Amino acid sequence: MAEHIYPHKHRVARETKEKLLGQKSRVLWFTGLSGSGKSTVANATEYALNNMGVKTYILDGDNIRAGLNKDLGFSPEDRKENIRRITEVSKLFVDSGILALTAFISPYREDRDVAREILGKDFIEVFVKADLSVCEARDPKGLYKKARAGEIKGFTGIDAPYEEPTKPELVIETDRFGINECADQVISYLAEQNIIDKKLII
């Protein structure tokens, strides 16, 4: 921590905010290859939760890089800083009583482990799993094609690694299930863990 920085404790505790909102706050950390469906599943999950009255916010990779992290590139060092910043932002959302959903490739296991360490029990790792061939066939942004042509260097899954989670709280297979089914799996998990009221999904 920088010198002469003295964080203040808030008078309104997180538990008070959660009680006011009628929910528990956590971070759903969606990780997976480009094209695996992270943002799509996160958005479908948020849409369903919103319809249930759950207060949420999505922190999406491209949106964050267009603003808060627009100074960062895609080197391992910049990727690490990207994840560090978004972890700290997620922590703020959790403290506000909001259920945050993050959708980032976050390819390095070590960086996700740091996020887990910072967020503790609030960190829920959701591995959005799809075979590379499926992600490449989808290629919604045309990035795999550019990477194969050598126009993009250090692209995850092609010439940069993606380290799969070893013990994620949840694995969502988007090459086996439809988007709404995937969102339902996430919501069922939240209900099973008493993060959202089970009555909301009956």
Q: Which of 75, 106, 133, 188 is catalytic?
A: 106
Please check the confidence at residue 7 and state whether its pLDDT lies above 70. Answer: no
141 backbone φψ class: left, alpha, beta (φ>0; ψ -120 to 50): alpha
- For 28, the enclosing helix (H) or strand (E) is strand 27-31
Strand order, beta sheet including 123-129: 56-60, 99-103, 27-31, 123-129, 170-173
pLDDT of residue 102: 95
Give the global pTM: 0.90
Instruction: Give a yes or no: residue 163 inside a domain.
Output: yes
pLDDT per residue over 100-150, tens digit each? 999 999 999 999 999 999 999 999 999 999 999 999 999 888 999 999 999
Q: 134: closest CA among 81, 191, 177?
A: 177
The total of structural domains in the chain comes to 1
Is 75 a catalytic site residue?
no
Instruction: Give a yes or no: residue 14 inside a domain.
Output: no
Distance CA 49, CA 24 (A): 13
Residue numbers of the domain that contains 64: 28-201
Instruction: Give a yes or no: residue 189 inside a domain.
Output: yes
Judged by DSSP in three states, 156 sits in strand
pLDDT of residue 26: 96
pLDDT of residue 201: 75
Instruction: Give a yes or no: residue 86 inside a domain.
Output: yes
pLDDT per residue over 145-181, tens digit each? 999 999 999 899 999 999 999 999 999 999 999 999 9
pLDDT per residue over 86-101, tens digit each? 999 999 999 999 999 9
Instruction: Give a yes or no: residue 20 inside a domain.
Output: no
pLDDT per residue over 41-74, tens digit each? 999 999 999 999 999 999 987 788 888 889 988 8
Instruction: Give a yes or no: residue 56 inside a domain.
Output: yes
Instruction: Give a yes or no: residue 142 inside a domain.
Output: yes
- Residue 185: φ, ψ to 5°: -65, -40
Instruction: Please report, for the domain that includes residue 108, its CATH number.
Output: 3.40.50.300
56 near 128, Cβ under 8 Å? no
Instruction: Give a yes or no: residue 21 inside a domain.
Output: no
Distance CA 37, CA 146 (A): 19
pLDDT of residue 197: 84
Distance CA 43, CA 28 (A): 12
Per DSSP (E only), the strands in 70-176 are: 99-103, 123-129, 170-173
Q: 129 - beta bridge partners?
A: 173
